[in-house]
Structure 1
Amino acid sequence: MQVSPLVWGVTILVILGLLAFDFFVHVRKAHTPTLREAAIWSSLYVGVAVLFGVVVWVFGGTEMGSEYFAGYVTEKALSVDNLFVFLIIMSSFRVPREDQQKVLLFGIVFSLVARTGFIFLGSALINSFAWVFYLFGLILLITAGNLLKPEGEESHSADNFIIRLARKLFHTTDYYDGDKLFTLDKGKRAMTPMLLVMVAIGGTDLLFALDSIPAIFGLTQNVYIVFTATVFSLLGLRQLYFLLDGLLDRLVYLSYGLAAILGFIGVKLILHALHENNVPFVNDGNPVPVVVISTGLSLGVIVGVLIVTVVASVRSPRGKAQSAISGARRHATAYLDLGYTADLAERDRIYNKLLAEEQQLRELTPKYRQLVREEQQLMDLVQRAHTEHDDFLSR
């Protein structure tokens, strides 16, 4: 199916309209989204993406529809994994809760621009050089292997080279001035941490694009499908961040599921490269007779792996323990951080979350309760949060 310039134009206008609506209706005025608000709008964005996929299926045919849904599901899963890193970065910069929406929206817009550039660059390379399929396949296999390596929060630290360079070259403050990027500090114009965190988010978005774009090109080479599946997977990511708050730590096997998916797509790309081979030193430049993996099979494998991954994570005692430990540490830290938010209702929400997580820790099996007892720093942090809360009530 050839997509006309008119369809491209209408699609881009709709996307720009959704981004403008998101900013002016939800993000422009700083506030902390409620769980209900996040659930409603996240569902609406998923609904729009699914409706668009149905339209593609009806007018573009089964093959094109399957390619869109396979690409959308894969990119959505990768975007959820990206939320872990966003959470770490914003925690590192101590971004006030009510201003996190603007940081996320900036990250989404930057990601859209960066990935659009990568999409058209990738398309140009694929059309000119068939060996690019080998390269993309190798990138995905390496990425899949890296996902299997154990990582801590330090591996995604926001204190990277660009941030250190910015702090060295420019006058920066250690405090926020609302959502302003610049402020006056001792009579001098200075950058606020808000600008630095946006730089950190933008930098990680570029790295994410290097993984996600080869993945979706492994499912389809239709540029329109690649573009729309990528864009719709990112729209609604802001709402999903607040909806999954507290549940991200529970997905302990997500990296394994993503590794399996990226490895599968990497193999699919290499098989496709062999099938279309024109590289002189491979089979004398002739195509190699290999099995070609269909889009339908790809979609089934992707959905199946994600279902198994999520169910296994949710039912895992390890996932429950990790979620409670990480949540208690995060919420105790947030409660003790006076710069976290000025909203008293948000502080009550954080403290109630901490109480619920402490209850979950008490209900753990002896094996995992022992892990909690060994984390003396966590226990001290929680106790300080209780002391601070008691002092607040007595004022």
Structure 2
Amino acid sequence: MEAHSVGSPVLWGGFILFVLAMLALDLGVFHRKTHEVKFKEALTWSGVWISLALLFNLGIWWKFGSEPALNFLSGYLIEKSLSIDNIFVFVVIFSALKIPVLYQHRVLFWGILSALVLRAVMIFAGVAMLERFHWLIYVFGAFLIFTGVKLFVQRNHEEHPESGAAMKLARRIIPSSKELDGDRFFTVQNGRRLATPLFMTLILVELTDVLFALDSIPAIFAVTTDPFLVFTSNIFAILGLRSLFFVLAGAVEKFTYLKVGLSGVLVFVGAKMALVDVVKIPSPVSLGVIALLLGVSIVASLLKSRKQERAAQNKNIAVN
């Protein structure tokens, strides 16, 4: 499978400089001093990142036409939706390791910065492998179908990443303390340099993101193998993950059916990959199916949440 790319050296360089500038602005200006990210601030930044992604998509459409633009938008939507599932796990991690909200942005910033590099490596490796070994697309497709079915079956399973094998191994290898030292990743106790719980949380966040990337990146390959579109859609979604976390962290329990929708998306894109040489699904159809699956699951979740809230209110009124 040969990957044709719309990305020129100028576009690649410009996009990377843009990402670096935004990260520098984020950490060096808006979050130079550690502070608790409030809902309004997080919502504003979420809007900024989504708007930037859509403006970039308009630029793709203007420069290269509707097909690459639809592919970018589909990839962005897949990654953005799967990142919500990522947020569920991040909430569990921060809660289990007792990380104050004040320091959570710092962990997410450095965790996502590392994720950008790791995902770039995974994307280019994946594109190179698909170019050389076409049959891998069937493997990726089968893997996504399996992951989608597994996500549906285990949709009510509680995550406990803080007590998993990876965390136990990290604690054995890295000398660590049990107490925070402000927003520092390392501290000195009795002359020994130790990792704080903040650094151990960072490791867990990075490992979690890598595991989620194993699903999301092959899923975008089902839409396009253009490395520029895969990379940019992935990065835009990841850059908005921090602000989206603070928007949704207090409401994750409301998205009851989201995992059902995500499992449907994974099965759909997996089937699209597996049948790529048999059935050609147009980009507008792919985008429509993905949007429909996610939209229905989110609306159904919110309706159920509202119904439960009304039932609870009626129960309280009856008791009083």
The TM-score bracket by the shorter chain reads: over 0.9
| Structure 1 residue 91 corresponds to structure 2 residue 84 | no
Task: Say which SS state the counterpart of residue 153 (structure 2) adopts.
Answer: coil
Question: Could you tell me which residue of structure 1 aligns to residue 129 of structure 2?
Answer: 125
Match of 1:313 among 291, 295, 301: 301
Question: Could you tell me which residue of structure 2 aligns to residue 297 of structure 1?
Answer: 285
Q: Which runs of 5+ in 2 are unaligned?
A: none
Task: Say which SS state the counterpart of residue 99 (structure 1) adopts.
Answer: helix
Give the total of aligned pairs. 313
Q: CA deviation at 1:173?
A: 1.4
**Contact 2:49 2:239 survives alignment (8 Å):** yes
Q: Match for 2:187: what amino acid?
A: T
How far apart are the structure 1 equivalents of 2:288 and 2:155?
29
| Structure 1 residue 188 corresponds to structure 2 residue 192 | yes
| Structure 1 residue 363 corresponds to structure 2 residue 300 | no
Which range is displaced more, 35-44 or 122-131?
35-44
Give matches, 1:170-185, under 5 Å.
170-185=174-189
Give matches, 1:230-309, under 5 Å.
230-272=234-276, 275=277, 290-309=278-297
Q: CA deviation at 1:188?
A: 2.6
**Contact 1:66 1:296 survives alignment (8 Å):** yes
Give matches, 1:10-49, under 5 Å.
10-49=14-53
Q: Residues 175-224 of structure 1: CA distance to partner in whole angstroms, max 9, x if unpaired?
A: 10011111122343222111111111111111111101100000001110
Higher relative contact order (CA 8 A, sep 6+): 2
Task: Say which SS state the counterpart of residue 188 (structure 2) adopts.
Answer: strand
Change (3 A) 1:184 1:204: same
How far apart are the structure 2 equivalents of 1:151 and 1:197?
24
Give matches, 1:342-361, under 5 Å.
none
Q: CA deviation at 1:152?
A: 5.7
How far apart are the structure 1 equivalents of 2:67 and 2:208?
33
Match of 1:102 among 102, 106, 110: 106
Q: Match for 1:303: what amino acid?
A: A
Give matches, 1:369-388, under 5 Å.
none
Q: Match for 1:300: what amino acid?
A: G
Match of 2:66 among 62, 76, 87: 62
How far apart are the structure 2 equivalents of 1:365 and 1:113?
51
Change (3 A) 1:185 1:154: farther
Q: Which runs of 5+ in 1 are unaligned?
A: 276-289, 325-359, 370-395
How far apart are the structure 2 equivalents of 1:201 and 1:39?
22
Q: Residues 85-134 of structure 1: CA distance to partner in whole angstroms, max 9, x if unpaired?
A: 01101111111111000111122112211111110011001100110110
**Contact 2:161 2:167 survives alignment (8 Å):** no
Change (3 A) 1:163 1:36: same
Q: Residues 262-315 of structure 1: CA distance to partner in whole angstroms, max 9, x if unpaired?
A: 10101100111xx1xxxxxxxxxxxxxx32111110001111111111110000
Structure 1 vs Structure 2 CA RMSD? 2.0
**Contact 1:88 1:153 survives alignment (8 Å):** no
Task: Say which SS state the counterpart of residue 36 (structure 2) adopts.
Answer: coil
Q: Match for 1:106: what amino acid?
A: W
How far apart are the structure 2 equivalents of 1:96 and 1:153?
25
Q: Residues 120-158 of structure 1: CA distance to partner in whole angstroms, max 9, x if unpaired?
A: 011001100110110110110011011112356753421
**Contact 1:140 1:211 survives alignment (8 Å):** yes
Q: CA deviation at 1:170?
A: 3.9
Which range is displaced more, 15-24 or 214-223?
15-24
How far apart are the structure 1 equivalents of 2:154 and 2:85?
14
Q: CA deviation at 1:2?
A: 3.6
- Indicate the percent of aligned positions where both proteins have the same amino acid: 39
**Contact 2:180 2:197 survives alignment (8 Å):** yes
Q: Match for 1:225: what amino acid?
A: L
Task: Say which SS state the counterpart of residue 363 (structure 1) adopts.
Answer: helix
Change (3 A) 1:127 1:171: closer
Match of 1:158 among 162, 185, 188: 162
**Contact 1:250 1:320 survives alignment (8 Å):** no
**Contact 1:103 1:198 survives alignment (8 Å):** yes
Change (3 A) 1:132 1:183: same
How far apart are the structure 2 equivalents of 1:125 and 1:77?
26
Q: Match for 2:130: what amino acid?
A: I
Q: Match for 1:315: what amino acid?
A: L
**Contact 2:161 2:204 survives alignment (8 Å):** no
Match of 1:212 among 212, 216, 228: 216
